[in-house]
Structure formats: structure tokens, C-alpha cells
Amino acid sequence: MPKFMKMLVVAAAIVAFGAGMAQARDQIKIVGSSTVYPFSSYVAEELGATTKFKSPVVESTGSGGGHKLFGAGIGLDTPDITNSSRRMKASEFEKDQKVGITEITEALIGYDGIAVAQNGANPEFSLTKDELAMAVAEMVPMDGKLVKNPYKTWNQINAKFPNRKILFYGPPTSSGTRDAFGEMVLGKFAKKHKDLYAAVSPKGKADKYESVRQDGVYVPAGENDNLIVQKLTKDKNAFGIFGYSFLEENSDRISGAKINGVSPEPTTIANGEYPISRSLYFYIKKAHMDKVPGMKEYIELFMSDKMIGPKGLLKRIGLVPLGDDLRKQVQKDVLSYKNLTLEDLKH
């Protein structure tokens, strides 16, 4: 082989080796939901403190943002796990399959309620889910037609409410909390008025209506729910929309509104009585399991009774545990790395 050819081969090998080294990781990379973030971070820190593995890197990118990053493909420059405060969408699963992420395991970890919270010094506030939708939705029914939301104060929605400015700090469009709120509050309200909302809803389906006000009444506050808590402590008019765990963590400063007469509490969230409750998940990229040290151990720790059981450590920071039978089945499925299917997501 000519000398210059040998040099090219060596150079190519060095580049390839360098690329491999650049991709090699000794830490798990996790992205996704701000709601699941505190639970995931707790498990990550525990793994680092009690095993030989480094603590995983956990980023709060929002559920939608996490699924997008997770779905970028296979390779150590992509996340290993994404957290989600809603179930993976069928469209996200299909995109993953197309880029080669053909084996995904879904891990259901527990429940959470979406709290509508206010400054703790305020009097108790109780409203229906429909009244909440009327305060937040971009379009509302009035005199038999849809109009831009005109409500500026709460007593304009219901005379029993105080003459108090309507203001919300809530999750952005990248957030699973925003998706869940849209589905459980706005979509359910719109479905009751489907003849009006169909024309302004995706594919003409009123229950898919999720548009919030754009007039400054609803303020997207990023993926850091603690910032919303700070806003509430400074503004007695404002309400914040975020996961229950942040309400529990800050119960000395803020309080949750009753929705349909029900307070957000672990019992009412677990049994579904609280009307804005949802499940929490993380998703595993199985192709990375034997490439990233500690993935198996992290997953086993997260799914253990020590973490998600009825007396688990994550309950102390706001996770509402699964029932015993469901938890045992989920643990079995996750720890056998059962493949998620499109059919699963349709149920």
C-alpha cells in the first residue's frame, strides 16, 4: 500500500476512534417532564450515593420537548430515558419507529394531580372545571356563538366569585402538564359545546380543543414550576397551574383551589375523585441498555417499592402511589423490559 494511503487509513481510524470516544458516556442522560423531574432527580441522586455509578444527568425540558429529544434516534448523543407527565402519543411512537427506536419500554410510576393554586393568604377558592375552562380558554360560548374570551374578573364568570382579576401562570406548549390540562379541562368543556367548537378544533374534533388565552391572562411560565410558586407568593390575584407535588412542597405558602368541590390530595388524586388527575411515566430506550453504565440499576431502583411503593421515598415528595396490584404488574412489565406497542397506546 502506498505510504500516503497508509496515512489516510490511519487518519480515518483516528477520526473514527475519536468520534467513538466523544460518544462514550459514563452517565445516564434523562430529559422530559418538569413534573416528573423531582422524582427522577431524587432517584438519580440516590443511585449516585449508594452505588458505584455516577448520578444520571436529569434535564427538565417538558414532556413534549423530552419526547422530541428522545426521538432524535439511536446513539449516545441522544437521551436514554425521557420522563413524561402524560402517556406517549401514538404519533411520537411512530416517529420513534421510523428513526430506528424500535424497542421502548414504558414505566408507569404513579399519579399526580394538576393543581390550580393561589397565594396561601387568600380565602379558599372553589370552582367547577367548566368555570376554570371559561377563565382560561381562548374562545368561549356567548349568546349561541363562540367569541374571544371577554372575561377580565372572576365575578364576570360567576356572580358568587369576588371582583378579582383573572390571571394564570401556567405551563408552556412543550409541557405534558399543558397537554393534560388541555385534554381534561378545555377539551372536555369544548365537547359539551361541540357544535360551536368543532370549527376551531383540530380535525373538527371539539374534544381536541386546547387553545388558551393570548391576551395576557394566561402567562406561559416555562418549565420551572418553582418560578410559578414564586409568582403566587408575590401576587394575590394570580393562580398557578402545575403538578400537585409542587403544591405539597410549598403548602406553607400556597393553597390549592377546590375543583368541583374536591381538594387536590393524595387520596382524591389516586381514586380519581379530583377531576384533574393524571398518570406519570418514563420511557426507556432499550438500545442503550448495554451501552450506558447504570441504566439497569437506575431503572430497578426507580421501580422498587423503596421508591414507588405505598411507603416509598417518592411519596414523601408528592408522588401518589399506584395501587398494590397495578404496581406489582407494572414492576413486572418494566423489569422484564416489555416492548411498548402502538396498540398499547390506543387503549
DSSP result, 16-60: HHHHHHHH--SS-EEEE-TTTHHHHHHHHHHHHHHSSSPPPEE--
**% of the chain residues with pLDDT over 90:** 83
- Determine contact, residues 139/146, Cβ cutoff 8 Å: yes
- Determine contact, residues 118/124, Cβ cutoff 8 Å: no
| Neighbouring C-beta atoms of residue 246, cutoff 10 Å | 22
Torsion sign over Cα 331, 334, 339, 344: positive
pLDDT at 291: 94
**Which SS3 state, helix, strand or coil, does residue 139 take?**
strand
- Determine contact, residues 39/47, Cβ cutoff 8 Å: no
3-state helix, strand, coil in the chain (%, to 5): 45, 20, 35
Number of H helices, E strands in the chain: 15, 13
CA angle 147, 153, 159 (to 5 degrees): 95
- Determine contact, residues 157/151, Cβ cutoff 8 Å: yes
How far is Cα 229 from Cα 119, in angstroms, rounded to an integer?
9
pTM of the model: 0.80
How far is Cα 269 from Cα 304, in angstroms, rounded to an integer?
21
- Determine contact, residues 116/246, Cβ cutoff 8 Å: no
In the chain, the domains with their CATH numbers are 24-111+280-345 (3.40.190.10), 113-277 (3.40.190.10)
pLDDT at 44: 98
Ranges assigned E (strand) in the chain: 29-32, 57-58, 81-84, 104-119, 126-127, 139-142, 145-148, 168-170, 218-220, 239-243, 254-256, 258-259, 277-285
- Determine contact, residues 314/110, Cβ cutoff 8 Å: yes
- pLDDT tens, position by position, for the chain (347 residues)? 444 443 444 344 334 333 443 457 899 999 999 999 999 999 999 999 999 999 999 999 999 999 999 999 999 999 999 999 999 999 999 999 999 999 999 999 999 999 999 999 999 999 999 999 999 999 999 999 999 999 999 999 999 999 999 999 999 988 888 999 999 999 999 999 999 999 999 989 999 999 999 999 999 987 778 889 999 999 999 999 998 988 988 999 999 999 999 999 999 999 899 999 999 999 999 999 999 999 999 999 999 999 999 999 999 888 999 999 999 999 999 999 999 999 999 87
